């Protein structure tokens, strides 16, 4: 049979090369699709338990996705505990030792965040002046809404902004769960960076309570009015209950402190995730995707009237600082352990060396 060739720019290429690529792609796809079944076969006890867990979670979330920590944390804890079955008992003890304080930290965060403006003057005009100085006399929130917002029509891309906004309530915790199961070193570094950034955020809220742009516009009338589209794009996915939850939280000062806005931890957590993994991958496409996440979050927050750009810049800088502090601290600890081990080995060798008389 004669060889078949495909005409391409710059010459011809045998059809067998294209066929080989298609076969490899099909093999990779088949491997990925078959993985859950292989995992269930390899874990006859853990598999059904985790399947039941996912079914129960689905039934609960049919009545509404929850993103409050009081309900999210117990579900995550149970899921991680099931997946940790079969490991040594110390792993289960570590689960309790790490996750219970983690949960208590977030309870404290909610309590302290609610007192951000307790007895302190709320900054109102300063952030507006800073935005105008940075953006040639214009407010980015108003610019984006004038250009893109349509009160009568939900744009298709608002699905992306809605999902991006809601990811803030899940990504950091799910990342902690995955890293706990896959890499203890990365888990500890992630948790350290997350705690540091959260403390930075609390200090910012306490030292610099600030009116967000929607408040400056709609309540204080210092800038043109701003809509709060929030997660309305999720209506296109028929996830109206998520938008109802967001609307309830946005209009309930008992749930959300409106002047806890500097820095933006929505922006901060997205940059924390991206910078943490950006440093740990060499794949260009992965770096590009990671870079898109904080940019998408920034657009979502500014378009939605939730934060000024200065809040976002502050969140980004503090997130990068938190990751670098965590990595340097744990690198220093590892170096100390290595030096201590070498010193102990040297002392043992000296003691074992016979002394000539």
Would you write out the chain's pLDDT as a tens digit for each of its 357 residues?
444 444 444 455 455 666 666 666 666 666 555 555 555 555 566 677 777 777 777 777 666 555 566 677 777 777 777 777 766 667 777 777 777 777 777 777 767 666 655 667 888 899 999 999 999 999 999 999 999 888 888 888 888 888 898 888 888 888 888 888 788 889 889 989 998 998 899 888 888 888 999 999 888 889 998 888 877 777 777 666 565 555 545 554 455 677 888 899 999 999 999 999 999 998 999 999 999 999 999 999 999 989 999 999 999 999 999 999 999 999 998 888 888 777 777 666 666 665 554
Helix (H, G, I), strand (E, B) or coil at 12: strand
pLDDT value for 6: 46
Q: Which residues pair with 14 in a beta bridge?
A: 5
pLDDT value for 278: 94
Whose CA is closest to 120, among 189, 191, 204?
Answer: 204
Which of 32-41's residues contact partners 24+ apart within 8 Å by CB, and which partners? none
**Cis peptide leading into residue 128 (ω within 30°):** no
pLDDT value for 114: 63
* Alpha-carbon separation of residue 74 from 57, 68, 77, 83, 93 (angstroms): 11, 11, 5, 14, 16
Which two structure tokens, joined as six digits, stand for 176? 């902690």
Which two structure tokens, joined as six digits, stand for 212? 């967000």
* Segment holding 7, helix H or strand E: strand 5-8
* Distance (Å, whole) CA 265 – CA 203: 12
Q: How many CB atoms lie within 10 A of CB 55?
A: 10
Q: What global pTM score does this model have?
A: 0.77
* Distance (Å, whole) CA 91 – CA 181: 9
- Contacting residues for 311 by C-beta, under 8 A, at least 6 apart: 127, 210, 212, 261, 262, 263, 264, 267, 301
* Segment holding 126, helix H or strand E: helix 125-134
Q: How many CB atoms lie within 10 A of CB 233?
A: 23
pLDDT value for 177: 81
Distance of CA 345 to the CA centre of its chain: 42
């Amino acid at each position: 049979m004669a060889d078949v060739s495909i005409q391409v720019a710059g010459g011809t290429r045998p059809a067998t090369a294209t066929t080989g690529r298609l076969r490899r792609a099909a093999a990779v796809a088949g491997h990925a699709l078959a993985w859950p079944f292989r995992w269930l076969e390899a874990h006859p006890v853990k598999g059904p338990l985790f399947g039941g867990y996912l079914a129960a979670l689905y039934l609960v979330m049919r009545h509404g996705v929850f993103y409050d920590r009081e309900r999210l944390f117990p579900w995550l804890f149970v899921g991680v505990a099931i997946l940790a079955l079969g490991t040594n008992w110390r792993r289960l003890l570590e689960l309790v030792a790490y996750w219970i304080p983690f949960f208590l930290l977030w309870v404290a965060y909610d309590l302290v965040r609610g007192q951000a403006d307790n007895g302190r003057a709320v900054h109102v005009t300063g952030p507006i002046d800073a935005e105008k100085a940075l953006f040639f006399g214009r407010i980015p929130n108003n610019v984006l809404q004038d250009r893109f917002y349509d009160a009568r029509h939900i744009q298709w891309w608002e699905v992306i902004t809605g999902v991006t906004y809601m990811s803030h309530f899940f990504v950091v915790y799910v990342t902690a769960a995955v890293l706990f199961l896959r890499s203890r070193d990365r888990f500890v570094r992630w948790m350290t960076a997350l705690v540091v950034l959260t403390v930075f955020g609390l200090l910012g809220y306490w030292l610099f309570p600030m009116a967000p742009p929607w408040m400056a516009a709609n309540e204080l009338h210092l800038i043109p009015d701003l809509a709060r589209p929030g997660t309305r794009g999720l209506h296109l996915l028929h996830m109206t209950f998520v938008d109802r939850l967001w609307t309830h939280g946005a209009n309930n000062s008992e749930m959300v402190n409106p002047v806890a806005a500097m820095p933006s931890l929505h922006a901060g957590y997205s940059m924390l995730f991206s910078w943490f993994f950006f440093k740990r991958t060499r794949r260009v496409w992965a770096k590009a995707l990671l870079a898109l996440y904080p940019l998408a979050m920034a657009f979502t927050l500014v378009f939605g009237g939730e934060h000024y750009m200065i809040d976002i810049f502050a969140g980004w800088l503090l997130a990068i600082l938190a990751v670098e502090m965590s990595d340097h601290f744990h690198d220093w600890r590892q170096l100390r352990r290595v030096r201590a081990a070498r010193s102990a080995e040297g002392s043992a060798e000296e003691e074992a060396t016979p002394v000539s008389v």
